[in-house]
Structure 1
């Protein structure tokens, strides 16, 4: 089985994790859409490059209009798909035919129907787009977006929502196609060992939150919730990892909430340092109103760190019955009570067991087994 995995700047969040999961059951060719090449161009294909360290990983420049202005979406996607088709011809001539195209939405979804049509290769689509779940300040996708999605879904061999919540919502919206749950995998090779945790009651409770600091994403809810929780348990300490246009607003909200030195903002630390922070935290908190999946919460659970957060995205599946506490979105009082309760339960937690359960359920082998069934059916090999 040979699979071409399409990705780009808009998704998926952790392409390496998807590659490793797919690679447990198939030979994977990566087609990565980029703004400009960072790899040597292929002979005769100046818009495509190949990674010398990974010869089945290709970069493909996204199409632009004249004078470096983006082309219209439809034309740009068609031209980019044509470039992908040229790269697949090279790969096929060197190593054999591709059986399945695997794309991700949002991201490379726009190129899939045309690419599938000209190559004759069936495609499957992983759906990550949290817009389908709604948002307190944004409407659901309109009729035009739903019609576009319906065309994309109808031609796919399978649609793979990454959470039960997304799976249910696509059904509620009446979007066509065969919908199968395949969760976002975790890249177990990047994870740290679960550190030993020995606590006494007086120890500070280290809480970590991480993500892009943008407006209307629940950071104000977290500031108010943490201030209330701090009034009930003075041991609590909050560390917010991330950067973005809302950094100043988050800092000001924490100041007005009266959290003092108990809450700090560190800026963006990069994936390696963020994983280290998650592994050595006592709790991870995810205050977002809407989440397509919850990859950072998944990382935290894989480190044995319980999660307190909003009941959205895949968090109900990730947290389960022993991984933390979930509350309704946009409810600072409920989030505050959950933080206090989770802090009180820390001595009863079993981090190693939590990490082992999460890594087994969302690791490359488990997700790869689901992908194997999808790829086999899509390629007609069943």
Structure 2
């Protein structure tokens, strides 16, 4: 089977992991719509760059209008099809591809499926956005929300389509080994929080909760990893028990999470929660509000959930999590997460969906590519 994986400038997070999972069960070609090319320009195709991979990855610079962008995507895929054979399926990720997917699928003569990562569904959704999504989902052969909570939310919103759960894949080869940990009561409790330092993203509430928790248990230490315009305000709010580190890439953050005792999720509203997934895959428990996919990720052994992202709720959760550390077994947690979300499990889920959809999927009507 030959599959095109189409992503837009809005995501998904870690598209390489999606490509790696798909490549285990299909001949996969990735296409990313981007504001400007970062890969080597293709000699024959205007506005197209190529990274030979594997998997092969085309970049398509967005044109001024949708028809122009679609024409560039289709030209790249027809060129690729002439080299490696026709495609069987288009797998798109939203948000960011809504306007392209039906047209590209129609031009290729293949069905398309939609992986939905959009955290905006958890908030207020306008009628125009709902109508646009309804048209896209009705035309798709399958709609694949990345979490149980998102699956339920799409149902609550009455959006059409064949809905199937397809969680975010996790490339275990990128993860560090779970370090051996032997604790004594006097050891510092190392808490890590990571993400963009932006106003309104829950950092103030986390800082205040940590200050209260540290006053009750001076063993607690917090490391904040990230960059952003709110860094100065946050630094001024925090004591010497908090240190700040710039975002040095995922590998450095993974190392910090693997050697932490706890991860504090800073955001009051989460989508899938990729940083929490990374922490759990390193065997580190998470303290977070009950939002997005975090309840299903954390489950029975992955940490402590609170009803609201407020100091009132977070402070006792941090203290309880610190007190519980002697009873926590990081390798067991890491094994559960890696087994559930790792590439072998993700590839098996994708293979089943691809086989089902390619047998029954509808093909959108052809539209002009330009």
Alignment match, 1:129:
118
In the alignment of these two chains, the number of paired residues is 361
Name structure 1 gaps, 5 residues minimum.
65-75, 135-139, 255-259
State the Cα distance separating 1:214 from its structure 2 match: 1.4
1:277 matched to which residue of 2? 256
TM-score (norm 2): 0.94
Pairwise CA distance, 1:92: 0.8
Distance 1:267 1:16 in 2: 23
Q: CA RMSD in A?
A: 1.5
Matched, 1:245 2:234: no
Using the alignment, how far apart are the partners of 2:38 and 2:206 within structure 1? 39
The residue aligned with 1:185 is 169
Name the SS for the 1:334 alignment partner.
Answer: helix
The secondary structure found in structure 2 opposite 1:41 is coil
Which residue of structure 1 aligns with residue 181 of structure 2? Answer: 197
Tell me by how many angstroms 1:53 deviates: 4.7
Q: Deviations over 1:120-155 (max 9, x none)?
A: 111111111111101xxxxx1211111111111111
Counterpart position of 1:372: 351
Q: What residue is the counterpart of 1:311 in the other structure? A: 290
319, 323, 333: which one aligns with 2:312: 333
Q: Is the 8 A contact 2:7 2:94 kept in 1?
A: no
Partner of 1:39: 39
Q: List aligned pairs for 1:1-382, cutoff 5 A.
A: 1-54=1-54, 56-64=56-64, 76-134=65-123, 140-254=124-238, 260-380=239-359
Q: Which runs of 5+ in 2 are unaligned?
A: 362-370
Q: CA deviation at 1:35?
A: 2.5
Q: Match of 1:159, SS?
A: strand
1:342 and 1:148 mapped to 2: Cα distance?
Answer: 43
Paired residue secondary structure (2:46): strand
- Which digits, 9 at most, give the CA deviation of each residue in 1:80-119, with x for residues without a partner? 1221111110111110111111111112232101111222
Cα distance in 2 for partners of 1:252, 1:243 equals: 15
The alpha-carbon deviation at position 249 of structure 1 amounts to: 2.6
- Give me the whole-angstrom Cα distance separating, in 2, the residues matched to 1:77 and 1:332: 45
Q: How far, CA to CA, are the matches of 2:182 and 2:309 in structure 1?
A: 33
Deviation string, structure 1 residues 173-209 (Cα, Å, up to 9, x no partner): 1011111111111121110011111111101000000
Check the 8 A contact 1:306/1:323 in 2, yes or no.
yes
In 2, distance between residues paired with 1:179 and 1:327? 29
Tell which has more relative contact order, 1 or 2 (C-alpha 8 A, sep 6+).
Answer: 2
